């Protein structure tokens, strides 16, 4: 079975092609083809990068039109030195990462017109992501016709959270209208929880795990018995930790104050909270921790403050997730910051010795993936696991179609 995966971000479109046999591998195999479109540059077009076993290729895109760019990316599957299949009809199913699935979708779901409409209806709650998902679905329809497509929702993993974690302390009628905590990054949190159990060779159901997805967007999940019971993001991906450009949780009265005293309207508030806050807002430099650490080396006090605030909220979040779990067996770091920023991991773990969590600083500096970085006398295991949302999506597609065959 050949499974194509589309995993869009706010300024990128990642894709890969897996070829799977009759049994699902226990560890992620290497895709036979990988493609990435990057629109983050300042030029009028974008950049397309293709990787196969035989070649790496970079292509400049003249247009920023998403449908055209995805179609051009798909053409590299069957053409030139990046060719890995003879025709696109060899693809059996296409899986899409979809950030917001609302309350109605708790598992991987075959995409129908009704599902597309639901994704569109949720655009106000995930304006940076859900539109890109629809573009990807439409591009596949245009290129591959009625091929089976599957939506794997980031919110699905958190759908089993208990009501006490879902309900906001507002009048209950708002919960009934869908204003509730959904949680995000679920595909990543789920994968890392399962992978942690594999690495430690312990049953997932016996572990209390906190997964720290730290990228430009940041969230934590508390996993017990293989289920998410709490998380930091909520109704939208804005709640929770301080992030690259997002504020995370703040006193909601600040927004009322800005509306009354500074004449902020809805659009200005949205831009402030999602684009101008977080590390970028506090530091005044960047949302990129590499640039912020460089500024710290040059004695920039606001850069240092930005990291201090970031760590403050991260450690508060870890403590809150541990409280929800009533204990902790494994702490996992993942995503761009979690996987590569040694100092962030060290600072995040500092001060938790009272609950038996002790980091081996030497191992942490070696940046060894998928090996225990905890000190010998630590009661809590500490792992860095590269997130693999693409493989998690492919796995769910495979399982969905195997169930239909049986």
Q: What is the pLDDT of residue 27?
A: 84
Q: Which two tokens stand for residue 226?
A: 């293989």
| Neighbour-count burial for 115-137, b at 16+ CB within 10 Å, e otherwise | bbebbeebeebbebbbbbbbbbb
Whether 392 maps to a domain, the answer reads: no
Residue 301 has pLDDT above 90, yes or no: yes
Residue 305 has pLDDT above 90, yes or no: yes
| 107 & 223 share domain | no
> Chain-wide mean pLDDT for the chain?
92
For residue 184, what pLDDT band results from cuts at 50, 70 and 90?
Answer: very high
Highest mean pLDDT among 37-46, 100-109, 143-152: 143-152
As annotated, the active-site residues are 154
Q: What are the pLDDT digits (tens) for 76-108? A: 999 999 999 999 999 999 999 998 888 888 888
The DSSP call for residue 163 is H
Residue 402 has pLDDT above 60, yes or no: yes
Sheet strands (E) in 146-262:
149-153, 208-214, 218-224, 227-231
Using a 10 angstrom Cβ sphere, with 0-12 exposed, 13-18 middle and 19 or more buried, the burial of residue 161 is buried
Q: What is the pLDDT of residue 77?
A: 94
Can you give the CATH number for the domain in which 211 is found? 3.30.420.40
| 149 & 48 share domain | yes
**What does pTM read for this prediction?**
0.90
Residue 14 phi, psi (nearest 5): -95, 145
| 281 & 376 share domain | yes
* Distance separating alpha carbons of residues 389 and 218, to the nearest angstrom: 15
What percent of the chain has a predicted confidence (pLDDT) above 70? 97
Mean pLDDT of 26-54: 83
Alpha-carbon distances, residue 51 vs 2, 56, 115, 121, 373 (angstroms): 17, 4, 32, 35, 31
Among 367, 317, 379, CA closest to 339? 367
Residue 398 contacts residue 29 (beta carbons within 8 Å):
no
- Determine which of 24-38, 173-187, 209-223 has the lowest per-residue pLDDT on average: 24-38
Cβ-proximal residues to 294 (8 Å cutoff; 6+ apart), any chain: none
The DSSP call for residue 190 is H
Whether 265 maps to a domain, the answer reads: yes
Q: Tell how strand 56-61 and strand 46-52 pair up.
A: antiparallel
Whether 197 maps to a domain, the answer reads: no
| 298 & 374 share domain | yes
* Distance separating alpha carbons of residues 209 and 329, to the nearest angstrom: 6
How is 260-329 classified by DSSP, letter by letter?
HHS---HHHHHHHHHHS-HHHHHHSS-S-HHHHHHHHHTT-HHHHHHHHHHHHHHHHHHHHHHHHHTS-S
| 148 & 206 share domain | no
Whether 276 maps to a domain, the answer reads: yes
> What count of Cα atoms within 13 Å lies in the side-chain half-sphere of residue 236?
17
Residue 157 contacts residue 189 (beta carbons within 8 Å):
yes
Residue 405 has pLDDT above 70, yes or no: no
For the chain, the first-to-last Cα distance in angstroms comes to 15
Which of the pair, 60 or 278, is modelled with greater confidence? 278
Residue 264 has pLDDT above 90, yes or no: yes
How many domains would you assign to the chain? 2
Whether 7 maps to a domain, the answer reads: yes
Whether 390 maps to a domain, the answer reads: no
Residue 63 has pLDDT above 80, yes or no: no
| 149 & 216 share domain | no
What three-state secondary structure class fits 94?
strand
| 135 & 266 share domain | no
Whether 178 maps to a domain, the answer reads: no
| 207 & 145 share domain | no
| 207 & 129 share domain | no
Helix (H) or strand (E) segment spanning residue 114? helix 113-121
Residue 404 has pLDDT above 70, yes or no: no
Residue 303 has pLDDT above 60, yes or no: yes
Among 81, 61, 62, CA closest to 73? 61
| 145 & 211 share domain | no
| 355 & 257 share domain | yes
| 124 & 261 share domain | no
Mean pLDDT of 3-18: 86
For residue 126, what pLDDT band results from cuts at 50, 70 and 90?
Answer: confident
Residues of the domain holding 52? 2-153
Alpha-carbon distances, residue 384 vs 1, 8, 327, 347 (angstroms): 31, 23, 20, 15
Q: What is the pLDDT of residue 183?
A: 95
Residue 228 contacts residue 157 (beta carbons within 8 Å):
yes
Whether 141 maps to a domain, the answer reads: yes
Q: What are the pLDDT digits (tens) for 193-250? A: 999 999 999 999 999 999 999 999 999 999 999 999 999 999 999 999 999 999 999 9
The DSSP call for residue 183 is -
What three-state secondary structure class fits 246?
coil
Helix (H) or strand (E) segment spanning residue 18? strand 12-19
Residue 175 contacts residue 235 (beta carbons within 8 Å):
no
Residue 389 phi, psi (nearest 5): -60, -35
For residue 132, what pLDDT band results from cuts at 50, 70 and 90?
Answer: confident
58-62 — which CB contacts under 8 Å span 24+ positions?
61/37
Q: Please identify, among 118, 153, 188, the residue that sits at the C-terminal boundary of a domain.
A: 153
Residue 42 has pLDDT above 60, yes or no: no
What three-state secondary structure class fits 128?
coil
Mean pLDDT of 303-307: 98
Q: What is the pLDDT of residue 117?
A: 93
């Amino acid at each position: 079975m050949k499974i194509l995966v589309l995993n869009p971000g706010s300024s990128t479109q990642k894709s890969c092609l897996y070829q799977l046999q009759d049994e699902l591998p226990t560890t992620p195999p290497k895709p036979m083809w990988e493609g990435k479109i990057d629109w983050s540059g300042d030029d009028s077009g974008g950049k397309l990068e293709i990787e196969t076993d035989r070649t790496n290729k970079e292509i400049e895109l003249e247009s920023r039109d998403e449908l055209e760019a995805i179609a051009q990316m798909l053409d590299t599957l069957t053409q030139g030195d990046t060719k890995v299949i003879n025709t696109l009809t060899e693809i059996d199913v296409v899986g899409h990462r979809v950030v917001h699935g609302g309350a109605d979708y708790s598992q991987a779901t075959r995409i129908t017109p009704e599902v597309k409409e639901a994704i569109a209806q949720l655009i106000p709650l995930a304006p940076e992501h859900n539109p890109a998902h629809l573009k990807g679905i439409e591009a596949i329809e245009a290129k591959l016709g009625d091929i089976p497509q599957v939506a794997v929702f980031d919110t699905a993993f958190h759908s089993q959270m208990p009501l006490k974690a879902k309900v906001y302390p507002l009048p209950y009628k708002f919960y009934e209208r869908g204003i509730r905590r959904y949680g995000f990054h679920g595909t990543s949190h789920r994968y890392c929880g399962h992978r942690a159990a594999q690495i430690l060779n312990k049953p997932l159901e016996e572990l209390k795990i906190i997964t720290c997805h730290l990228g430009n967007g940041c969230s934590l999940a508390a996993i017990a018995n293989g289920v998410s019971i709490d998380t930091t993001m909520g109704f939208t991906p804005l709640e929770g930790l301080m992030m690259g450009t997002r504020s995370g949780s703040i006193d909601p009265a600040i927004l009322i104050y800005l509306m009354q005293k500074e004449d902020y309207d809805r659009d200005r508030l949205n831009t402030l909270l999602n684009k101008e806050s977080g590390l970028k807002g506090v530091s005044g430099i960047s949302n990129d921790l590499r640039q912020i650490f460089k500024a710290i080396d040059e004695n920039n006090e606001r850069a240092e403050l930005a990291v201090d605030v970031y760590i403050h909220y991260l450690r508060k979040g870890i403590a809150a997730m541990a409280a929800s779990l009533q204990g902790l067996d494994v702490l996992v770091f993942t995503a761009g910051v979690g996987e590569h920023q040694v100092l962030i991991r060290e600072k995040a773990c500092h001060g938790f010795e009272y609950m038996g969590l002790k980091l081996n600083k030497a191992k942490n500096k070696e940046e060894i993936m998928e090996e225990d970085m905890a000190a010998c006398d630590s009661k809590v295991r500490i792992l860095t696991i590269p997130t693999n949302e693409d493989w998690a999506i492919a796995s769910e597609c495979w399982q969905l179609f195997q169930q239909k065959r049986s």
